[in-house]
Structure formats: C-alpha cells, structure tokens
Amino acid sequence: MFPASFGYFAARSLEEALELLTKHGEEAKLLAGGHSLIPAMKLRLASPRYLIDIGQVPGLSGVRVDGESLAIGALTVHADVASSEIVRQRLPGLAEAASVIGDAQVRNRGTIGGSAAHADPAADFPVILTALNASFILQSPSGKRTVGADNFFIDFYTTALKADEVLTEIRVPLPPSGAGTAYAKLGHPASGYIVVSAGVLVIRERSGRCASARVAVGGLGSGPFRAAATEAALKGQPLTPEVIVAAAAKAAEGSDPVDDLYASADYKRHMAVVYARRAIESGVRRAGG
C-alpha cells in the first residue's frame, strides 16, 4: 500500500505553515504525528498534493495552566497528556482518555491536535474534550478564533476547521472544587479504537446534589454525542447510586447508532448505558461523593 506521490514541506514556524496553507489551499494537508493521515494516504482515502509538516514548529506543544484553563498545545503527544501531573491532578478524566489510546507507539507519536482535527468517530479525545467543554483555538493568516467543542465536531471526519486554519491550542476549563471528571472505554481489542466510550464532568454541591453534569458518549454516531437526557436526569438530584443508574439508562436517548462490523446498534446502545454509568460513578467519586 503506497500513497500517491506528494510534495513535502517542513514548516519551521506557524507563520510559514499558514503561508503554505494559504498558497496551496485545499490541495494541501497539515501533517502532525501522521498516525491517522499516513494510513489514510496509504489506503488512498486521502491523496493530498502537498504535505505541510508542522511537527517541528516551535511553541505548539506542552501543557500549562493559563488562568482558569489548562492550555494544551496542539502538538502535545498523547503520552505527554496522559503523564502530565497537572492533567492527572485536575482533569483525571482527560489523562485516563489519553492513556487508553492505541498503543505506546501511537501515544508517543500521535498529537491531541491531530486527533481533534481528524475527528474520527471512533477516537477518544473528541469524546472527553466534549464532556470537558473544551475550546479550540484556530489560527489563520487573518487572525485567531475560538470554537467550543459543541460546535467544533461537526460530522464524520469533519470539524469547524477551515482550509487555511491551523489548530494551535486546546483549552480545557479547570473544574471547580467539588467537580469530578472520568472516562470509560470499551475499546476494540485489535485496533484500540472505541466501540463505545463515555466522558463525564460532574459538579457536586456541598449538599451532595448534582449542580451540573456534562456527559459525552462516543461510538453512537458521527462524533461525540451529548447525552442530554442523562445530564438532565442528574442535574439537581442527589448523586445516589439509584439516581446514577436511572440517569445512565438514558445515555443513548436521541442517538441513532448503526450496525457495523464490530457491533450492532442495540449492543452499542446497551454499552453506552453501561459505560456512561461507570464514568459517572467514577466522576462522582472524584467529586467527593
């Protein structure tokens, strides 16, 4: 399996990458870790005329606290997200998701920005980043814009990114005290990609009631699915095992999964309930419940 021939540029700065993108437009593709794009090119599912390698562009990787958010550079590899002390302490659900992606090789090469931009419906980061209400910083030659997760992931392999934009950073709001985050995944045993997964952010009041919850489920459709019925069933309720089970039972409500080679639609709906419950239980425990 060989890709079609292509031209290759190694951008040395963000400005250079943006210039090249503007010049070559739809004929060009950015290359980050290459762990989704290169396999797609080998299968001839993608045949860009030019690759713009941003792998060595300075300033686009690393995790730092910036005010009330965690700022994660788009080129940060999955292993660095998984092992970051600040991520593990403040957003354990994000560390959990990063640590179950593929294998060690994939985690040391693949980038969080590449995963988000690729928007594979079976990918882990889109699910947890939706649950955590992350924002995506998109840079074009004419400036910067910020898009929230609910508007960033649009369809199968489709995001709000325009052809002349680079995703430079992902910002995740740091949860307040009394909040818990978690991620639970049923992975395909061969590829590691999700069959079904759930990401959760639960904010618990001192009284033990749920102030608010965001629950995203992967594997049910074209991208992360906000389990709105589950969120509504948790909000304002005491976070008891009975309430959690009843709320999780609604995790697939409003989704429209389809049968595929790995699982039937019914199995996915059932597993969505199981994995949403596990993630909510874990999030609630971390929230102090």
- Using CB under 6 A, list all residues that contact ligand FAD: 29-37, 39, 74, 101-102, 106, 110-111, 113-115, 117-118, 120, 123-125, 161, 166-167, 187, 191-193
The tokens for 175 are 């949860």
Shortest Cβ distance from residue 160 to ligand FAD (Å)?
Answer: 11
Burial 92-102 (b: 16+ CB within 10 A, else e): bbbbbbbbbbb
Closer Cβ to ligand FAD, 75 or 244, answer by number: 75
Closer Cβ to ligand FAD, 57 or 239, answer by number: 57
Closer Cβ to ligand FAD, 31 or 279, answer by number: 31
In the bound state, the residue with its beta carbon closest to ligand FAD is 110
SS3 258: coil
Shortest Cβ distance from residue 107 to ligand FAD (Å)?
Answer: 8
Closer Cβ to ligand FAD, 113 or 289, answer by number: 113
Shortest Cβ distance from residue 93 to ligand FAD (Å)?
Answer: 15
Query: Which residues is 182 bridged to in the sheet?
Result: 200
Shortest Cβ distance from residue 284 to ligand FAD (Å)?
Answer: 25
Q: What contacts 91, CB < 8 A, 6 or more positions away?
A: 70, 132, 172, 174, 175, 181
Q: Report the sign of the C-alpha dihedral through residues 88, 92, 95, 96, in that order.
A: positive
Closer Cβ to ligand FAD, 30 or 149, answer by number: 30
What CA–CA distance (Å, rounded) separates 169 from 133?
A: 14
What CA–CA distance (Å, rounded) separates 53 from 43?
A: 20
Shortest Cβ distance from residue 29 to ligand FAD (Å)?
Answer: 4
